[in-house]
Structure 1
Amino acid sequence: MKLSRAEYNEIAKFTEKLRPTRQCLRMLKERFPSHSQSTLLSVFSLQYQKRIKRTIFRHHTPEAIETYYKRYQTEAQTHPADPVLLDMANEVDLSPALMARLILDRFLQDSNSGTPSKSVLNSMLKEPSLIPDQTLAKNIYQCTINDCCYGPLVDCIKHAIGQEHEVLLRDKLKERNMSFLDETQLRTMGYDKTPDIILEVPVAVDGHIVHWIESKASFGDDYSHRTYLNEQFWSYWNRFGPGLVIYWYGFIAELDCQRDRGIMLKECFPEDIVTLYQAGQTHAHAQPRGEPGSSQPSPQ
């Protein structure tokens, strides 16, 4: 759904006091019952990631890491049944999954007398049962499943949702008998940077020509949309012409301001698509009798 900037700002302000736990979804839905849960979660996730980027340096200093690790060791030994890491992450306002990564990395340095490889670290975060310390494994698992913004579980879910919406887009195009090339086909043709869909025959949406369609299974806020414009959309426009971006979880309505320059935003698959054939039929029916191009014979 589209949100006005005022609606978006109200939601964004409310998210400032939330932590990336499952409970935050319930709080968001209770506060904004008219908005979809997917939209609210996407807005919160974007806001929380910006918050983490502003503060992450404080947690990555050697002093901070050592403090967190010593505290974890003490509290895990004293209260082995408690979610020590999860509580600590929420207390210092750090993503539970990122806190888990810091502590696991520090634990492996102790165990292996050196910095662990990224592949080993990632495999243990994805599968905590590989961690030799059972208490730490349980704490890592608790952080992973309770973080709705970061971590291997979230990455997997986001990838699956992105794939799901790309399939949905292709199905919608097939229902309309529209000829297109998808990203995989375009890559085999030698294109290195492509939108999700190139239409082999352009269409019109809201009176604007569309040559390509990009699917985004997220909410379009100022920062993400500006980043996509600079890194993707304008390059698509330069190479393929005007196009359409679908933000399936909505966007700030005021951002849809580039239509005349060739980039249109929608929050769902458009129903008012006009194909070249339909445009030709409309033009033919609009022709007065006897004029060139009319389907009726001119009087003799």
Structure 2
Amino acid sequence: MDCVSGSSAAVADKPVNKMKMCRAEYRSISRFIEPLRPSRQCMETLKTQFPHLPPSTLLSIFSQEYQKRMKRSIMRHHAPDVVKGYYQRYRSEAKTRPTAPLLLELANEVDLSPALLARVILECFLQEREASVPSRQVLNNMLREPYLIPDLLLAKHIEQCTVNDCCYGPLVDCIKHAIGLEHEDILRDELRERNLSFLDENQLRAKGYDKTPDIILEVPIAVDGHIVHWIESKASFGDDHSHHAYLNEQFWSYCNRFGPGLVIYWYGFIAELDCQHERGILLKDGFPSDIVTLCQGPARS
């Protein structure tokens, strides 16, 4: 299972919009995304610029590209002198402009995720207050529930960051988890409608499997002439970086243990990545409309 990062709007965007695109189009979108920040306004900009793409696809692409950007620069933002400068600036401006969205403004200026900046500032505040480094659990609890922060103004600014960041933070993590579960349910419903016998991830773990796909079919099916023993649900867009990581971390091991399988990228994928049929991996952007079972012949939706 995997899921798209994003706002609550993504949950309501059902996976009825199928989307495969060529690598050239993806690169064009990623170049347009490069200067954008993770805000609600940026998603409106993307929907206006690419009206033919589902909002969930755009959000997934933006989130993945933005996270790559953050990984490239995160060490610079965590340098001790840089962190100290961010915190001192916040404390100074909080005295003169307490009602302004100070952390959102600073995050935009230095090109850092608002939620990641909020975490840095909160850690500095707690360390200053308690004279010790706060635990990860304490930080996470306060980011999830800002009212726990013993400074009402800082709590307000922290909450602004987590609410307005569409790529990072506890709100995004919660939505990602919900979207992943939603698509697993959709996959199971599709299988039940076709009377296909299967074991899901929870059942497989109960049987002692430690690393499994989302679904193993008890009776294989054929899709586009290719045998499928397992199905993996990815509620995200399949780009080069994520797909190659999944190949190495998951898909090849699934093939070695269970035979050939199917990966569903519910929000689309780069078409050129669907090139491993002979090695046992088939990509789709939704549940296949035509499948063949060994016992029943063609099964149509």
TM range (shorter): over 0.9
Partner secondary structure for residue 168 of structure 1: helix
Post-superposition offset of 1:280: 9.5
| 2:86 partner letter | Y
Residue 258 of structure 1 corresponds to 276
Instruction: Give CA deviations for 1:88-137 in whole Å, capped at 9, x if unaligned.
Output: 00110000000000000000001111000110110000000000101100
Residue 292 of structure 1 corresponds to none
Which of 113, 118, 129 is equivalent to 2:136? 118
Post-superposition offset of 1:260: 1.1
Instruction: Give CA deviations for 1:42-81 in whole Å, capped at 9, x if unaligned.
Output: 0000000000000011100110000000000011110000
TM-score (normalised: structure 1):
0.93
| 2:50 partner letter | F
Instruction: Give CA deviations for 1:206-256 in whole Å, capped at 9, x if unaligned.
Output: 000000000000000000000000000000000000000000000000000
Which of 61, 72, 86 is equivalent to 1:68? 86
Partner secondary structure for residue 186 of structure 2: helix
Residue 218 of structure 2 corresponds to 200
Which of 71, 77, 86 is equivalent to 1:59? 77
Instruction: Give CA deviations for 1:268-287 in whole Å, capped at 9, x if unaligned.
Output: 00011111123499xxxxxx
Post-superposition offset of 1:7: 1.0
Larger radius of gyration: 1
Residue 13 of structure 1 corresponds to 31
Whole-angstrom distance in 2 between the partners of 1:84 and 1:211: 53
Identity %: 70
Which of 90, 108, 116 is equivalent to 1:98? 116
Partner secondary structure for residue 199 of structure 2: strand
Which of 220, 224, 242 is equivalent to 2:260? 242
Q: How does 1:1-300 map to 2 (within 5 A)?
A: 1-279=19-297
Partner secondary structure for residue 192 of structure 1: coil
Q: Are the equivalent residues in 1 in contact too, given 2:290–2:298 (CA < 8 A)?
A: no
Whole-angstrom distance in 1 between the partners of 2:269 and 2:95: 47
TM-score (normalised: structure 2):
0.92
Whole-angstrom distance in 2 between the partners of 1:259 and 1:280: 20
Partner secondary structure for residue 58 of structure 2: helix
Residue 11 of structure 2 corresponds to none
Post-superposition offset of 1:6: 1.2
Post-superposition offset of 1:139: 0.3
Instruction: Give CA deviations for 1:257-299 in whole Å, capped at 9, x if unaligned.
Output: 0011100000000011111123499xxxxxxxxxxxxxxxxxx
Unaligned 5+ segments in structure 1 are 282-300
Whole-angstrom distance in 1 between the partners of 2:250 and 2:89: 44
Whole-angstrom distance in 1 between the partners of 2:31 and 2:21: 14
Whole-angstrom distance in 2 between the partners of 1:91 and 1:134: 24
**Bigger relative contact order, structure 1 or 2, given CA contacts below 8 A and separation 6+?**
2
Partner secondary structure for residue 19 of structure 1: coil
Aligned residues: 281
| 2:270 partner letter | I
Distance 1:280 1:167, change over 3 A: closer
Q: Are the equivalent residues in 1 in contact too, given 2:291–2:298 (CA < 8 A)?
A: no
Post-superposition offset of 1:192: 0.2
